């Protein structure tokens, strides 16, 4: 059976991608941001998921403003980086997992979450920047990634509760997949930021920190936050945080927070990051190690 072992959330600020692509990560402004992800990369290298499901938003790159699906699942075999105005980012093509993705589509649609199925899609900074933050800059991404794009660009985006419940449906879908896969779910975007209008530059660290606390302690409370509260407290683009709730909904009720990082600012944005592990992950890890030991004992005795 496939299972979700952990979830991570992180901001997806495009300037982070530009800093990587233009080799400016060593500048003091950027070392403050990137140093917060050193432990995350170690955790990722240790956790080694078979598949990542990345909940992100398209910023009018793949979909333009002509067509805006509320939830769009990438079922293709690969997803090239989108041209966001400066040419596509020099990052590897994202390889998908069509079998698991179409299984998720079937399961969640039969559970009445009517996703748009994308058999061809480009992915923008919303997806590629979190991959860099968690995996660094390898020649190929180390595992397949299933993109799940959420509309937070044009009103009305889905509610917090809808996102949380979609996470639950995704978890059910993964757990009913026959293959033996360990899956990590990414929730991306946020934290507080507003990039235009009279309140441009708004950052609300108090709101962000409470959001991080409740992601661990009381996610149901976050699933009741209305759009207007995100707008008021976290700025117009703070609504991206609903995507973190898809990730949280896909995890167990009781989880272990293994890492957290918060810094202000990167570009116009408060950068927040958290790693949450399902407790079953540890038990499963122990069983796997015991099985490996037993296997090597059997081999020795033969
Ligand atoms: C910024 C942040 C975002 O999340 C985004 O998608 C675009 C711009 C910013 O901080 O400038
Ligand atoms: Fe964004």
Q: Which residues pair with 9 in a beta bridge?
A: 187, 274
State in Å: Cα 290 to ligand 2 middle: 43
> What residues line ligand 1, using a CB cutoff of 6 Å?
12-14, 59, 189, 193, 195, 237, 267-269
Question: Which residue of 10, 195, 234 sits with most ligand 1 atoms within 8 Å of its CB, as the best mutation to test the pocket?
Answer: 195
- Nearest alpha carbon, ligand 1 atom 6: 13
Q: Are the C-beta atoms of 274 and 259 separated by less than 8 Å?
A: yes
Q: Please classify residue 288 by burial: count the beta carbons closer than 10 Å to its beta carbon, then call 0-12 exposed, 13-18 middle and 19+ buried.
A: exposed
Q: What would be the CATH architecture of the domain defined by 3-301? A: 3-Layer(aba) Sandwich (3.40)
Strand-strand pairing, 3-10 and 182-188: parallel
Mean pLDDT of 253-260: 97
The whole-angstrom separation of Cα 171 and Cα 4 is 7
Q: Sketch the domain layout of the chain as residue ranges.
A: 3-301
pLDDT for position 298: 54
Asked if 191 contacts 272 with a C-beta cutoff of 8 angstroms, the reply is yes
- pLDDT cut 90: percent of the chain above it: 91
**How many other CB atoms are found less than 10 A from the CB of residue 76?**
19
pLDDT in tens, 131-175: 999 999 999 999 999 999 999 999 999 999 999 999 999 999 999
**Residues classed as catalytic:** 125, 193
Copy the structure tokens of residue 188. 């991306």
Dist. CA 266–CA 153, nearest whole Å: 20
* Helix/strand/coil for 262: strand
- Which pLDDT belongs to residue 88? 98
Minimal-distance CA residue to ligand 1 atom 2 = 13
Ligand found nearest the CA of 267: 1
What ligand 1 atom has the least distance to the C-alpha of 125?
A: 6
Residue 302 has pLDDT above 50, yes or no: no
Residue 82's pLDDT is 98
Q: What is the 3-state secondary structure (H, E, C) of 97-165?
A: CHHHHHHHHHHHHHCCCCCEEECCCCECHHHHHHHHHHHCCCCCCCCCEEEEEECCCCCCCCCHHHHHH
| pLDDT, tens digit, 9 for 90 and up, residues 7-38 | 999 999 999 999 999 999 999 999 999 999 99
- Mean pLDDT along residues 125-134: 98
Identify which has the larger pLDDT, 296 or 153: 153
Distances (CA, A) of 148 to 25, 61, 126, 260: 28, 14, 11, 23
Query: Where residue 283 falls among pLDDT bands split at 50, 70, 90?
Result: low
pLDDT at 282: 57
160-217, pLDDT tens digit by residue? 999 999 999 999 999 999 999 999 999 999 999 999 999 999 999 999 999 999 999 9
Average pLDDT over residues 266-284: 88
Residue owning tokens 């979609």: 166
How far out from the chain centre does Cα 274 lie? 11
Q: What is the mean pLDDT of the chain?
A: 95
CB 148 within 8 A of CB 54: yes
> In this structure, are residues 257 and 276 in contact, taking their beta carbons and an 8 Å threshold?
yes
- Tell me the pLDDT band of 280, cut-offs 50, 70 and 90: confident
* CA pair distance 26, 86, nearest whole angstrom: 22
Report the atom number in ligand 1 closest to the C-alpha of 237. Answer: 4
**What confidence category does residue 125 fall into, taking pLDDT thresholds of 50, 70 and 90?**
very high
């Amino acid at each position: 059976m496939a299972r979700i072992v952990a979830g991570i959330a992180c901001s997806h600020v495009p300037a982070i991608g530009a800093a990587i692509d233009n080799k400016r990560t060593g500048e003091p402004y950027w070392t403050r941001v990137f140093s917060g992800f050193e432990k995350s990369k170690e955790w990722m290298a240790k956790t080694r998921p078979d598949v990542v499901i990345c909940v992100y938003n398209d910023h009018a790159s793949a979909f333009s403003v002509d067509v805006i699906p509320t939830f769009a699942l990438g079922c293709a075999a690969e997803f090239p980086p989108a041209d966001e105005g400066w040419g596509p980012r020099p990052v590897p093509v994202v390889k998908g997992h069509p079998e698991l993705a179409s299984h998720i589509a079937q399961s969640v649609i039969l559970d009445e979450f009517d996703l748009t199925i994308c058999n061809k899609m480009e992915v923008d900074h919303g997806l590629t920047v979190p991959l860099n933050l968690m995996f660094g800059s390898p020649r190929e991404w180390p595992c397949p990634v299933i993109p799940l794009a959420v509309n937070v660009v044009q009103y009305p985006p889905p509610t917090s509760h809808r996102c949380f419940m979609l996470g639950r449906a995704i978890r059910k879908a993964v757990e009913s997949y026959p293959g033996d896969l360990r899956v990590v779910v990414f929730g991306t975007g946020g934290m507080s930021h507003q990039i235009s209008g009279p309140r441009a530059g708004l950052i609300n660290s108090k709101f962000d920190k409470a959001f991080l606390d409740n992601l661990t302690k009381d996610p149901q409370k976050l699933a009741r936050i209305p759009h207007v509260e995100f707008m008021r407290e976290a700025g117009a683009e703070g609504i991206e945080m609903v995507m973190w709730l898809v990730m949280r909904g896909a995890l167990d009720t009781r989880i272990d927070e293994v890492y957290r990082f918060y810094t202000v600012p990167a570009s116009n944005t408060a950068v927040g990051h958290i790693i949450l592990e399902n407790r079953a992950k540890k038990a499963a890890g122990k069983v796997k190690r015991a099985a490996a030991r037993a296997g090597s004992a059997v081999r020795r005795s033969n």
